[in-house]
Structure 1
């Protein structure tokens, strides 16, 4: 199914884990889904999160496939194959952590690890119908994660339940201590953002079924935050991977995106940092009034694999996730489904370092219809 990049057998224990192949495991290459990295040396030590997984008596069984260099949102990878979306085979698995989401959807692991710089955990979680958490920026170690330097990237888990997300977080973040189950409904606000009628209807009907009262709110700098996040990612990815454009081994979509990224200026990055400060303050202000913000994970139903060959044409799919990489707030995607049986993600955002509370809110929201 092209989910697995390479088989690994490390450790033992009651939980099986798979790790995105942009995360170092000692003795294995970190290829990041790219032919241009196929001859890099093997990693000489584990990423910190891998050491923590092994220390928790878990078994790592594989490294998972991804959109090349983690620089794409569809999950389509011509070099090593595109991970099949197990629940929705005609649809994209989402990127860049495609294999990690698909592995959980296929129940090949109890939890998996992905990375999220501009939505790369939440998007494939929504596409594949599983849970995916982007923790508060900086809360989970990135040591041993590629690219080495990133001001927006986060390591986080995929799972088939909130409880397993919490278990994974306790393993990879020793400071994570699950919150008590909520006894009353949290105070929720839903962001006014552009999304398709199918997506909006699915979420609205779910909230009614759950008996949850929500207030509609706006974030003035939301669109600016999306574009600012793109500028920062482009600038940093060119610094990390620009030299690979000279190898002739990159996929055409990533090659073109990197060349476009090379045009990002330091002035644009400086302006993006100003947007980051403003937008973060706006989110913080709303979260001083509400326990969490709700919005769709994706603005539309995930496209068909057959229609998604051009990654650039679908960059709008990151429109609702990327802003929270810029601000650094924790965000989780929980799986919903339309009456027609198509995947929709409900994204929940909480205060910085309130990752435990975010999971408790997600659990409450999911149980409210049961």
Structure 2
């Protein structure tokens, strides 16, 4: 299935956990899905989140595969094999945290850990039909996580329920204190974005049958944020991994992207930071009037693996997730399905540092949908 990069058994506990192989575990190499690190030394100490996991009722059972250097959104990896998408085998697993999402879809773990720089938790969650949370930027420690420096990247969990997402957050972020269940429906704003009709039909049907009302809203800098986020990702990834292009050990797709990223100028980054500030202010202002913002996780249905060899051609799949890396707001992807049984993600966003409230709102929305299904059956 190519989901697990390295099998291991670390710690003793009821909860089984898998970790993206861009996160240090003492005594094991951190390969980041690349042969460029074949000759690297095993990690000398655990990443902070690994220590947190091992202090809890958890056993780490493996490191999961990923898109090479976490620099891609399809999850296709020619070096170590592309993780199978367990629920939708013909479709991409999504990247870059492909193995972590697939592990949950295959029920290989109670929760798994990925990283999200431009959608790399939420996108594979949507592709694989599981829940995936990108916390508020800086909320979860990145010490011992690659790349070492990032102004966008967040460590976050995958699970098969909101309850387990919240449990995972309590483990990896000791400051996370679960919010009480909501007694009244949250006030929701639905972001007007150009997604495929099948995606919107699925989301509107879900909201309608769950009796969840929304107001349509627009964010002025949202589209500009997509490009701005890419400029920062390119600039920072070149700083982190540019030297590996000389090794001849980086896969062709990622190597070409890195070489292209080398041409990102500091002026472009400065302009991207300007967009970051404007976007963050726009979203903050919107969330003063609403409890949460909702929109599709992806603008279209995930492509088939056979059609997704060219990562660059599918970068637009991150159009709705990358802006929230730029702004730093917490965001979760909830799995839905079209009438034809294909995966759609519903993305929910709340105020920065309101990760607990995000989980409470998500649980309310999931419960509303379950109640509506029971009502239809009865």
TM-score norm. by structure 1 comes to: 1.00
Query: What are the equivalent positions in structure 2 for 1:341-360 lying under 5 Å apart?
Result: 341-360=341-360
The Cα shift of 1:8 comes to 1.2
Query: What are the equivalent positions in structure 2 for 1:206-217 lying under 5 Å apart?
Result: 206-217=206-217
Instruction: Give distance in 1, aligned partners of 2:348 and 2:37.
Output: 35
- Residue of structure 2 in register with 1:141 after alignment: 141
The Cα shift of 1:39 comes to 1.0
Instruction: Give distance in 1, aligned partners of 2:38 and 2:164.
Output: 33
Instruction: Give distance in 2, aligned partners of 1:38 and 1:67.
Output: 16
Instruction: Give distance in 2, aligned partners of 1:179 and 1:237.
Output: 36
- Residue of structure 1 in register with 2:339 after alignment: 339
- Residue of structure 2 in register with 1:196 after alignment: 196
Instruction: Give distance in 1, aligned partners of 2:84 and 2:364.
Output: 31
Query: What are the equivalent positions in structure 2 for 1:94-105 lying under 5 Å apart?
Result: 94-105=94-105
- Residue of structure 2 in register with 1:50 after alignment: 50
- Residue of structure 2 in register with 1:229 after alignment: 229
- Residue of structure 1 in register with 2:374 after alignment: none
Instruction: Give distance in 2, aligned partners of 1:36 and 1:247.
Output: 7
Instruction: Give distance in 2, aligned partners of 1:299 and 1:253.
Output: 23
- Deviations along 1:304-337, one digit per CA (max 9) or x if unpaired, are 0000000000000000000000000000000000
Structure 1's unaligned 5+ residue stretches are: none
1:263 aligns with 2:263: yes
1:176 aligns with 2:176: yes
- Deviations along 1:227-246, one digit per CA (max 9) or x if unpaired, are 11100000000000001111
1:29 aligns with 2:36: no
Aligned residues: 370
Instruction: Give distance in 1, aligned partners of 2:126 and 2:12.
Output: 30
Instruction: Give distance in 2, aligned partners of 1:254 and 1:15.
Output: 34
Query: What are the equivalent positions in structure 2 for 1:19-98 lying under 5 Å apart?
Result: 19-98=19-98
Instruction: Give distance in 2, aligned partners of 1:174 and 1:139.
Output: 10
Which SS does the other structure have where 1:132 is aligned? strand
Instruction: Give distance in 2, aligned partners of 1:259 and 1:132.
Output: 30
Instruction: Give distance in 1, aligned partners of 2:184 and 2:110.
Output: 29
Instruction: Give distance in 2, aligned partners of 1:48 and 1:226.
Output: 30
1:132 aligns with 2:137: no
- Deviations along 1:256-308, one digit per CA (max 9) or x if unpaired, are 10011000001111111111000000000000000000000000000000000
Instruction: Give distance in 1, aligned partners of 2:60 and 2:75.
Output: 22
- Residue of structure 2 in register with 1:157 after alignment: 157
> RMSD of the TM alignment (CA)?
0.5
Which SS does the other structure have where 2:95 is aligned? coil
Which SS does the other structure have where 1:212 is aligned? coil
TM-score norm. by structure 2 comes to: 0.97
Instruction: Give distance in 2, aligned partners of 1:8 and 1:223.
Output: 42
1:310 aligns with 2:298: no
Instruction: Give distance in 2, aligned partners of 1:143 and 1:250.
Output: 24
Which SS does the other structure have where 1:140 is aligned? coil
- Residue of structure 2 in register with 1:280 after alignment: 280
Instruction: Give distance in 2, aligned partners of 1:12 and 1:88.
Output: 32
Structure 2's unaligned 5+ residue stretches are: 371-378
The Cα shift of 1:57 comes to 2.8
Instruction: Give distance in 1, aligned partners of 2:182 and 2:364.
Output: 7
Instruction: Give distance in 2, aligned partners of 1:39 and 1:182.
Output: 51
Which SS does the other structure have where 1:368 is aligned? helix
- Deviations along 1:29-82, one digit per CA (max 9) or x if unpaired, are 000000111111000000000000000131000000000000000000000000
Instruction: Give distance in 2, aligned partners of 1:49 and 1:85.
Output: 26
The Cα shift of 1:367 comes to 1.0
Instruction: Give distance in 1, aligned partners of 2:72 and 2:38.
Output: 19
Instruction: Give distance in 2, aligned partners of 1:169 and 1:346.
Output: 20
- Deviations along 1:191-243, one digit per CA (max 9) or x if unpaired, are 01110000010000100000010000000000111111100000000000001
